[in-house]
Structure 1
Amino acid sequence: MTLRFLWLGLILLVQTQFSVPNLIPAPSLHKIPLTPNFQDKQFQGKWYVIGLAGNAVQKNQGDSNMYTTTYELNEDNSYNVTSTLLRGQNCDYWNRTFVSGSVWGQYTLGDIHRYPNIQSYTMQVIDTNYSEFAMLFFKKTSSNVEYFKTTLYGRNKELSSELEDRFVHFAKSLGLTDDHITFLTPIDQCIDD
């Protein structure tokens, strides 16, 4: 009997140590606005990632350097997407494809089989004026856990405080708190090459 309680205690301890943290539930994609009359050709190009907010984002934790994401439109209306990040002293490039979904302005991760732990990954453009800013929403199911984030993009490294406030307001409308919202530090290395 004592051995049974010991094993039960050990199992509970291990589950507690390796369990997924309590994440703010991801909203349904139907509740996330889309840019009306999305113009995929105007959206393509280089964007600086200025702000991040999400249920797995922690303010002031980890790397907070600005990075870029470049969208290159293909003939089939999919995007080749390349993010350029500074990791340590090296430039790191992350390439993926987003395929046009059933809703205009919404995309899914192409070649998802390359990512064995990801069951689904959706990106949609919430708002943009194409020449200055864009706000995007990402929702991912990985190992049966739903993650979501919203990003604030700029064609330049700085945006107006009004656009930053709008981003914060949207993030908070998703149930996120100030602890889940971060603005990235502008850098020159890698992202201006």
Structure 2
Amino acid sequence: MTTVVLKTWCILLCAVFISAQVMPMPDFDLEKMRGKWYVSGFATNAKKFVTDLKAGMKMATAVMVPTEDGDLDLSYSHLKSDGSCFRMHHLAKKTEIPGRFVFNNELWANSNDMRVVDAKFDEYAIVHTIKTRGKESEFLNKLHTRSRKVAEDLKGKFREFSRETGILEENIAILPMNGECTEA
């Protein structure tokens, strides 16, 4: 039992170290993030993901708008199974490192350190976020795509990146297609 606990702690510490080393892509272009994206992949080390969330998750829509100050306005919408819409909005503030943004999520009471780690802006963007609440941190990787259809090689790339950042295979999801919320 003690060996299992020690191994688990080692894995968690390694994952924290790896995540802290994840840097934004070197040639990040804020303006190319502009527009509509589909949240096609979701991976996290959050404990409740597999037990409470993964089975019911479906593709969501994100709209990203760069501001004049170099920040990134993020609007998310998700069509729920009852036909209603869940919406969320954040203003991600730029940092001294291009492609790295920070914001607070009042709904979940956490601070977020978001990094665009890979992108072919007309096709996809892989975003790594460190979410901190109190003294605990979790990692979240999202695969944003311009199309609802996700190529197999891109799914593989997202899965590989997620595993490299310490996320277990069962905590990685390629989300099924979903309807979209109507504009409010």
TM over 0.5: yes
| 2:92 aligned partner | 98
Q: Look up the match of 1:117.
A: 109
Between the two proteins, what is the percent identity of the paired residues? Answer: 21
Considering only CA atoms, is the larger Rg found in Structure 1 or Structure 2?
1
Would you say how many aligned residue pairs link Structure 1 and Structure 2? 169
Q: Distance in 2 between matches of 1:113 and 1:95?
A: 9
* 2:24–2:117 contact (8 Å) kept in structure 1: yes
Q: Equivalent residues in 2 for 1:47-62 (5 A)? A: 47-56=37-46, 57-58=49-50, 61-62=54-55
Cα RMSD of the aligned pairs, angstroms, is: 2.5
Alignment of 1:123-134 (within 5 A): 123-134=114-125
Are the counterparts in 2 of residues 137 and 149 from structure 1 also a CA contact under 8 Å?
yes
Structure 1 segments unaligned to the other structure (5+ residues)? 1-21
Find the aligned partners of 2:150 and 2:54 in 1 and give their Cα distance. Answer: 23
Q: Are residues 114 and 172 of structure 1, via their aligned partners in 2, closer, same or farther at CA, if it must alter by over 3 Å?
A: closer
Q: Which amino acid aligns with 1:46?
A: K
Shift of 1:41: 0.5
Partner of 2:131: 140
Compute the displacement of 1:116 (Å).
8.3
1:32 aligns to 2:26 (yes or no): no
Checking the alignment, whether the CA contact within 8 Å between 2:45 and 2:140 is kept in structure 1 is: yes
SS, match of residue 61 in structure 1: helix
Note the C-alpha offset of 1:26: 3.0
Q: In the alignment, what sits opposite 1:108?
A: 102
Q: Normalised by the size of structure 2, how large is the TM-score?
A: 0.82
When the two structures are superposed, what TM-score results if normalisation uses the length of structure 1? 0.78
**CA distances 1:44-80 after superposition (whole Å, capped 9, x unpaired):** 1111011111101328734211101111111001111
State the distance in 1 between where 2:132 and 2:20 align. 16
- Quote how far apart the aligned CAs of 1:27 are: 3.8
Does the C-alpha gap of structure 1 residues 32 and 51 become closer, same or farther in structure 2, counting only changes over 3 Å?
A: same
Question: Greater helix share, 1 or 2?
Answer: 2
Secondary structure at the aligned position of 2:54 is classed as: coil
CA gap of 1:103–1:140, structure 2 versus 1, over 3 A, is same
Change (3 A) 1:171 1:29: closer
Following the alignment from structure 1 to structure 2, what is the Cα–Cα distance between the partners of residues 153 and 192? Answer: 20
Per-residue deviation at 1:91? 1.4
Q: Indicate how the Cα distance of structure 1 residues 49 and 27 shifts in structure 2: closer, same or farther if over 3 A, else same.
A: farther
Tell me, which stretches of 5 or more residues in structure 2 are unaligned? 1-8
Query: Partner of 1:172: helix, strand, or coil?
Result: helix
- 3-state DSSP of counterpart to 2:31: helix
Tell me how far 1:187 sits from its aligned partner.
1.4
